[in-house]
Amino acid sequence: MPEEALRQQNKILTLQRVTGISDKDNDVDMWYEQICTLGRTFTRSTDKKEIYEWCLLTVKGSGAKEIRRCITHGPNGKIYPDLETIRDILKNLYDLEYKPEDIIDDLK
């Protein structure tokens, strides 16, 4: 089996161990940590398209829909979001970020 095919197979097997994100199960911090580890394992560069594809393979439901929406088009083609942007989108979607109003309400 050629080296690239083995590398792709290894990626797929590794992605299966990543915590998935769905509308019911949305531990974004754990998912983000695992995706970061995966990125360091398989690529030395920060290939945004590849990371974007990994995200879509591990995020289902409305999270995946929101990730797809953040692709923009530039003069040289599609521009993919970085992993931090995707994480922030998911945290906002699942309302996992504390907003100042939430902290004030919690203190009441």
Assess whether pLDDT exceeds 90 at residue 80. Answer: yes
User: What pTM was computed for the model?
Assistant: 0.72
What pLDDT, in 10s, does the model give residues 32-68? 988 888 767 665 556 888 888 888 889 999 999 999 9
pLDDT of residue 103: 62
Please state the rounded mean pLDDT for residues 94-99. 66
What is the rounded CA–CA span in Å between residue 9 and residue 62?
27
Domain ranges in the chain?
A: 3-107
| Cα 47 from Cα 104, distance rounded (Å) | 40
Task: Measure the CA angle with vertex 50, ends 45 and 52; round to 5°.
Answer: 120
Please state, rounded to an integer, the average pLDDT across all residues of the chain: 81
At 86, is the pLDDT very low, low, confident or very high (cuts 50, 70, 90)? very high
